Amino acid sequence: MLIQTKHCLYVCEIKFRHKIDKAVVNEMDDKIKKLKIGRSTTVRPVLIYQGGISDALVDEGYFHYLLLFETLLASEEEL
């Protein structure tokens, strides 16, 4: 999923797995390299996930946002 603002492109990867590991970084990086992006555009990778994520993935610091899928469906009162 791609979300574009005036100067930023959010490239969102959605994963539903029991455990998501660092391999998703390479997958995402390959996808981003295939995009034609202007010089003034900042790319921000986002992982939307359901399940667990490995500590190695978090420590990598690659994703600008790590969003648990449930939070997208939650109402403001539940947050």
pLDDT in tens, 14-70: 999 999 999 999 999 999 999 999 889 999 999 999 999 999 999 999 999 999 998
Global pTM? 0.87
63 within a domain of the structure (yes/no): yes
Q: Which of 4, 6, 79, 13 is nearest to 47 (CA)?
A: 13
Q: State which residues form the domain around 10.
A: 2-73
79 within a domain of the structure (yes/no): no
Report the domain count for the chain. Answer: 1
pLDDT of residue 12: 96
46 within a domain of the structure (yes/no): yes
78 within a domain of the structure (yes/no): no
Asked whether the beta carbons of 48 and 12 are under 8 A apart, the reply is: yes
